[in-house]
Chains A and B, each alone.
Chain A
Amino acid sequence: MEEYIKTGSKAMKNVFWIFVIAFLLLFIHNKPKGFDTIYFTLAFPILIYIVYYLHVRLFPLGEIQFIILTSFLTEMGLIMIYRVTPDLLIKQIVWIAIGFLLYFISSYISKYYDLLYKLKYGEAIYIALTIALLGSTLIFGREIGGAKNWLTFDGIYVQPAELAKIIYIIFLAKYLCTRRETKDIIILGLITLAILGIFVLEKDLGMAFLFYATTVLLIFVSTSNLLYTAVGIGLFVLGGIISYFLFWHVRVRIEAWLNPWMDVPGKTYQIVQSLFAIAAGGFFGTGLGMGHPEYIPVVASDFIFSAICEEFGLLGAVAIILVYFVIMYRGIKVALNAKDGFGALVATGLISMFSLQVFTIIGGVIKFIPLTGVTLPFVSYGGSSMVMSFVTLGMLNGIALKEEQQDVQFESQY
């Protein structure tokens, strides 16, 4: 156990030195204007150290790896954001701090996740909330970057879909815990279709894919029925083909994926600039501040991975993917060790949604799969995504803690 904690601390020290070197370089490169930037920057390592020790203290048997890995990812995000759009740095640090706070809160709350299960009419409430959240942007939403999936309150932009993701997973877990007849699965399919309908109207293809794929995966996990899974995949392909002919923006994405050279100044500009950036990086990258990631559109959010590819090279990019792989592994372990079926399904749903999102955006910007605009969790600039990614891991941590909490109860009875 001792060595376990020691290794964790050493990993955190690596995170710290990466921070020192990268920000020293960037301060020379960017020449920060106000002291604010410097203060906030210095607050980041203090923040992650406090979080790390709190976690060790409060949850000795919790998923400490989540903290180590998110510290690294948020740090890489900060480095790249400060590199390409220095003005966003302070906001991002604030979002990270809020995210860590919510991580702890959701860790504590979701220790009692069985309450979510016992809630009367739970399924109806969860799905109603999900649809309300998603529908809200249709009515009150703002269109940014081609997709109508934002709400704005006094200049703060919120993506309700990020919250809806988690509520939808709770709904799925609850539903699939008790209902696994063919009839039930068909009803679930119709509900999913309705949600997809909302996303199609909002032109949010990435989210549509994430919701759909998570549903299919959870149906497979809970029913072990390969027929449902096959039908799910078949309908996905069919739906893809139909929307290819029906919707202009779907067609553009797929054509840009198949042939990015057809209209470089126009439709395929983003993906081609992303590929140029990745190519410029090579194996070791150009070095921090030596590349031109600022040539990529929306580089701070959707295309942040391409920027990392350019300045940290293939090696840096592979490291990021490996870190996500470990998060995925820990999430799966939480699901495997969960006390009950509901906990296992919630954990599986959360980690599936998370991993699929990582795969979708990284695969998209490197042209492995068609590009859809979702954020890279913990790295991309953006409050909603940052906060909700922390809540996701917090809930997984809570589910992992549930088991231990039971043991503690036994002890205290005598």
Chain B
Amino acid sequence: MSNLNRNIKILFGVFSVLFFGLIAYLTYFQIYERDRLITSSYSVYNRRLIEQEKKILRGSILDRNGIVLAKSIIEADGSQKREYLDGSAFAQVIGYSRRIYQQGNAGIEKAYDRELLGMVGNDPIIILRKLVLAKGQVGDNVYLTIDKTLQDLAYKEMEGKKGAVVALNPKTGEILAMVSTPSYDPNTLGENWKEIMTSPDNVVLNRATQGLYPPGSVFKIVTTAAVLTYEPELYNKTFDCKGYIIVDGNRINDFGGIAHGIEDFKQAFYRSCNSFFIQIGLDLGSENLQSMAYNFGLDKRVPLEIDTAKNYFPPIEGKVALAETSIGQGKILVTPLTMALVASAVANDGVIMKPYLMRYVADPISGTVIEKSTPSQYLNPISKKVADTIKQLMIGAVNDKEGTGKAAQIPGITVAGKTGTAENPHGAPHAWFVGFAPAENPQIVVSVIVENGGEGGKVAAPIARDIIRSYLTK
């Protein structure tokens, strides 16, 4: 028993570790797990939130100019009803809350659920003021970066078509419009839940952030960026286009099989010549091309408040795959938002700003801003010099007499852009257009995709043109 006292002291050490372990874990829980737990989808089982929700008038969602898009009203029986004032145009972005439709939640309603319930900022002064000033409790209002006028226009342009439009400010990352069609009327979600959720056109899918498409020729921006960054001498190459190219015994045709003859890089870009870019891609090598694609985040999930799909860019294996990839075909799949960001890198001197949808959250009574988004850099895939060169190419693609994107021209405004016509296994090719304007000082980037729409230059470019014109001439 000679060591009795020593052993008891060891025991004290053991218990001290256990007790301080409890304190450490509890602190960790409150700092890191707490928010996740409260916002997780499991919180349907949290009666606290449901009780509080019943008492709180859910906050409104407004556009960047303060136009109300969604608001809650109290019914005669005391229950709340959510009204979507511009339902179909905003359906996928705003989404729905499980607090209204118990089955699930999505979009802004999900992302800013706590804000709309007035539960952010455990700032005791704000809570106290709310208790004092408001009769019942009122949730906070969420102001989006979206411009309702632009959104409505985009939705009107897309009506009757399948696809998506994303417009954003390349200098800040603010999303100005985000439309996905076909859409649905969220005001009838309660009655038609099952039909809407299981619709064959997948109307609840936000095609702008979750739709995955082959980028087609729009991807040539990335190929060009790789050339200018890694093998700049290829930029001076000329090539005799025969209307097709044979890679490892496979014949790949140009669009319409037109032979362009001898052309330089610029002409090939304006005309979107596949044979040329396949040859360039083969010279460039899969490593360079892949590396540039990763720089642009084509293998990542774009960070955004609402759900986004992970872009798909598998390692390029073999010559045929390399050839297909250099013109945006093959296995690559990207979202329309991602391609808007690719164009925004060109528009913003090589820097992609992190996209966001919430401008600020404000207390509806006092107007106090509770949360505010600040622009931040997301990626920096290319240098300013490379960006400037590509910008000139994109100006040419719209303004040159041979450019594929002539339909996007606007008198008095220099539009830069790139079309795409993406072959796909589901029928007619998808029509793509990404572009920005004014080229000298870009204010807006637009990415348009029309599923099975045909030629990008004919179908997608005019839609982008109308959106740009409306935004810049308002």
Instruction: Say if the beta carbon of B26 comes within 8 Å of chain A.
Output: yes
B164 to A: closest C-beta gap in Å: 33
Is B30 a contact of A335 with CB atoms below 8 Å? no
Please give, as numbers and ranges, the residues of chain A lying within 8 Å of B46 by CB-CB distance.
276
B155 to A: closest C-beta gap in Å: 38
What's the Cα separation between A362 and B46 when bound, in Å? 21
Please give, as numbers and ranges, the residues of chain B lying within 8 Å of A272 by CB-CB distance.
42, 45
Is B18 a contact of A359 with CB atoms below 8 Å? yes
What's the Cα separation between A321 and B47 when bound, in Å? 28
What's the Cα separation between A284 and B34 when bound, in Å? 14
B35 to A: closest C-beta gap in Å: 8
Instruction: Say if the beta carbon of A282 comes within 8 Å of chain B.
Output: yes
Is A264 a contact of B8 with CB atoms below 8 Å? no
What's the Cα separation between A138 and B122 when bound, in Å? 50
Nearest A-chain residue to B14, judged by Cβ: A217
What's the Cα separation between A265 and B46 when bound, in Å? 11
Instruction: Say if the beta carbon of A279 comes within 8 Å of chain B.
Output: yes
**Which of B9, B19, B23, B38 contacts A336, CB < 8 Å?**
B9
Is A282 a contact of B34 with CB atoms below 8 Å? yes
Contact A344-B15, Cβ < 8 Å, known A276-B37, A282-B122, A295-B47 = no
Please give, as numbers and ranges, the residues of chain A lying within 8 Å of B37 by CB-CB distance.
275-276, 279
Please give, as numbers and ranges, the residues of chain A lying within 8 Å of B33 by CB-CB distance.
279
In the complex, chain A residues 41-78 whose Cβ is within 8 Å of any chain B Cβ:
none
Please give, as numbers and ranges, the residues of chain B lying within 8 Å of A329 by CB-CB distance.
12
Binary contact readout A299-341 vs B (1 if CB under 8 angstroms, 0 otherwise): 0000000000100001001100110110011001001100001
Instruction: Say if the beta carbon of A224 comes within 8 Å of chain B.
Output: yes
Is B47 a contact of A359 with CB atoms below 8 Å? no
**Which of B10, B16, B27 contacts A325, CB < 8 Å?**
B16
What's the Cα separation between A359 and B15 when bound, in Å? 9
**Which of B20, B30, B48, B51 contacts A314, CB < 8 Å?**
B30
A67 to B: closest C-beta gap in Å: 21
Please give, as numbers and ranges, the residues of chain A lying within 8 Å of B21 by CB-CB distance.
363, 368
In the complex, chain A residues 198-246 whose Cβ is within 8 Å of any chain B Cβ:
217, 220-222, 224
Please give, as numbers and ranges, the residues of chain B lying within 8 Å of A222 by CB-CB distance.
1, 4, 7
What's the Cα separation between A224 and B42 when bound, in Å? 48
Please give, as numbers and ranges, the residues of chain B lying within 8 Å of A372 by CB-CB distance.
none
Please give, as numbers and ranges, the residues of chain A lying within 8 Å of B7 by CB-CB distance.
220-222, 224
Instruction: Say if the beta carbon of B29 comes within 8 Å of chain A.
Output: yes
Nearest B-chain residue to A310, judged by Cβ: B48
Binary contact readout B266-287 vs A (1 if CB under 8 angstroms, 0 otherwise): 0000000000000000000000
Is A264 a contact of B42 with CB atoms below 8 Å? yes
Please give, as numbers and ranges, the residues of chain A lying within 8 Å of B42 by CB-CB distance.
261, 264, 272
What's the Cα separation between A363 and B45 when bound, in Å? 22
Contact A292-B22, Cβ < 8 Å, known A221-B8, A366-B29 = no
What's the Cα separation between A306 and B242 when bound, in Å? 76
Instruction: Say if the beta carbon of B5 comes within 8 Å of chain A.
Output: yes
Nearest A-chain residue to B44, judged by Cβ: A264
Name the residue among B9, B12, B15, B43 with the largest chain A CB count within 10 angstroms.
B15
Is A368 a contact of B22 with CB atoms below 8 Å? yes
Instruction: Say if the beta carbon of A379 comes within 8 Å of chain B.
Output: no
Is B43 a contact of A276 with CB atoms below 8 Å? yes
Contact A332-B8, Cβ < 8 Å, known A261-B42, A276-B43, A282-B122 = yes
Instruction: Say if the beta carbon of A149 comes within 8 Å of chain B.
Output: no
**Which of B5, B9, B19 contacts A321, CB < 8 Å?**
B19
Instruction: Say if the beta carbon of B101 comes within 8 Å of chain A.
Output: no
Binary contact readout A18-60 vs B (1 if CB under 8 angstroms, 0 otherwise): 0000000000000000000000000000000000000000000
Please give, as numbers and ranges, the residues of chain B lying within 8 Å of A275 by CB-CB distance.
37
Nearest A-chain residue to B45, judged by Cβ: A264
A365 to B: closest C-beta gap in Å: 10
**Which of A261, A276, A278, A359 contacts B22, CB < 8 Å?**
A359
**Which of A317, A348, A355 contacts B8, CB < 8 Å?**
A348
Is B11 a contact of A317 with CB atoms below 8 Å? no
A110 to B: closest C-beta gap in Å: 18
A383 to B: closest C-beta gap in Å: 26
Instruction: Say if the beta carbon of A283 comes within 8 Å of chain B.
Output: yes
Instruction: Say if the beta carbon of A133 comes within 8 Å of chain B.
Output: no
Nearest B-chain residue to A317, judged by Cβ: B26
What's the Cα separation between A315 and B160 when bound, in Å? 58
What's the Cα separation between A272 and B42 when bound, in Å? 9
What's the Cα separation between A332 and B10 when bound, in Å? 10
Instruction: Say if the beta carbon of B255 comes within 8 Å of chain A.
Output: no
Is B11 a contact of A336 with CB atoms below 8 Å? no
Is B22 a contact of A321 with CB atoms below 8 Å? yes
What's the Cα separation between A261 and B44 when bound, in Å? 12
B419 to A: closest C-beta gap in Å: 47
Nearest B-chain residue to A345, judged by Cβ: B4
Instruction: Say if the beta carbon of A88 comes within 8 Å of chain B.
Output: no
What's the Cα separation between A248 and B327 when bound, in Å? 59
Instruction: Say if the beta carbon of B3 comes within 8 Å of chain A.
Output: yes
B428 to A: closest C-beta gap in Å: 44
Instruction: Say if the beta carbon of B25 comes within 8 Å of chain A.
Output: yes
Instruction: Say if the beta carbon of A288 comes within 8 Å of chain B.
Output: no
What's the Cα separation between A336 and B42 when bound, in Å? 49
Is B26 a contact of A318 with CB atoms below 8 Å? yes
What's the Cα separation between A325 and B16 when bound, in Å? 7
**Which of B6, B9, B12, B22 contacts A363, CB < 8 Å?**
B22
Please give, as numbers and ranges, the residues of chain A lying within 8 Å of B48 by CB-CB distance.
276, 280, 291-292, 295
Please give, as numbers and ranges, the residues of chain B lying within 8 Å of A280 by CB-CB distance.
38, 48
Contact A324-B19, Cβ < 8 Å, known A295-B47, A366-B26 = yes
What's the Cα separation between A295 and B52 when bound, in Å? 13
Is A278 a contact of B29 with CB atoms below 8 Å? yes
What's the Cα separation between A359 and B19 when bound, in Å? 7
What's the Cα separation between A362 and B20 when bound, in Å? 12
Is B5 a contact of A352 with CB atoms below 8 Å? no
Is B4 a contact of A344 with CB atoms below 8 Å? yes
A212 to B: closest C-beta gap in Å: 15
Please give, as numbers and ranges, the residues of chain A lying within 8 Å of B26 by CB-CB distance.
278, 309, 314, 317-318, 321, 366
Which residues of A approach B to under 8 Å, CB–CB?
A: 177, 217, 220-222, 224, 261, 264-265, 269, 272-273, 275-276, 278-284, 291-292, 295, 309, 314, 317-318, 321-322, 324-325, 328-329, 332, 335-336, 341, 344-345, 348, 352, 355, 358-359, 362-363, 366, 368
Across chains A and B, which 8 residue pairs bring their CB atoms closest together, nearest first? A221-B7, A224-B3, A332-B12, A276-B46, A279-B37, A279-B34, A368-B25, A325-B19
* Sample (6) of A-B pairs whose CB atoms are under 8 Å apart: A222-B7, A264-B42, A276-B45, A321-B26, A332-B9, A366-B26
Extra inter-chain contacts (14) besides given A314-B30, A341-B1, A344-B4, CB under 8 Å: A217-B14, A269-B45, A272-B45, A279-B34, A280-B38, A282-B30, A284-B122, A284-B124, A292-B48, A317-B26, A325-B15, A328-B16, A345-B4, A363-B22
